[in-house]
Amino acid sequence: MLEVLTIMYPDAKCELNHSNAFELLIATILSAQCTDKRVNEITENLFQKYKAPSDYLHVSEEQIAQDIYGLGLYKNKSKAIKKTAAILEEVHGGQVPGKREDLEQLPGVGRKTANVVLSNAFGVPAIAVDTHVFRVANRLGLAASEDVLETEKQLMTIIPKEQWSQAHHQIIFHGRRICLARNPKCSECQLQHVCREFV
């Protein structure tokens, strides 16, 4: 199955635009309940204005909220960004930490966001289970769980560790392009023979 996904999506990668770990962290916080495309539209200007955690400390939460207006939960996200920037400055010397436990202490950062940052910014093998990974993994029988963490554990068991990050992106691509939540394109899917929804 992974071989098929590799053939279908050989260039699968993180679609959140970023040039460093801090930008990726902010973009991932912003991506909750929002499309990567919409986040990229917002961060195009945001990352020109705020280049480091310290830049967020000189403006109000209200200003940050205005800068990210148009994204879902923008008021909550502006609070999380402001608090995260303060912690990065005060505790981590203005740098994004490369350890899960440190990342998960940041406001707006849960396991999924930590996995995205660890995998894409630090090269740490990880599988971030978002809505696409959860849906596709359970439809294709890569996992059998109604729980996100359990789905992640099952994927980590059956996918070789060195393939976690790439497989994660390939599963997301499949979920965004073929295995849609509503009206999946089953006739175009090369994995329908193993799909629990299709069979």
Annotated binding site: 179, 186, 189, 195
- What distance in Å separates the CA atoms of residue 72 and residue 50, rounded to the nearest whole number? 20
Residue with tokens 């990229």: 40
- What distance in Å separates the CA atoms of residue 4 and residue 145, rounded to the nearest whole number? 23
Q: What residues contact residue 114 under an 8 Å CB cut-off, 6+ apart? A: 100, 103, 104, 126
Residue with tokens 């894409």: 120
Q: Give the active site residues.
A: 112, 130
Residue type present at position 122: F
| Residue list for the binding site for [4Fe-4S] cluster | 179, 186, 189, 195
Q: Which 3 state secondary structure label does DSSP give 74?
A: helix
How close are the terminal C-alpha atoms of the chain, in Å?
16
Residue type present at position 81: I
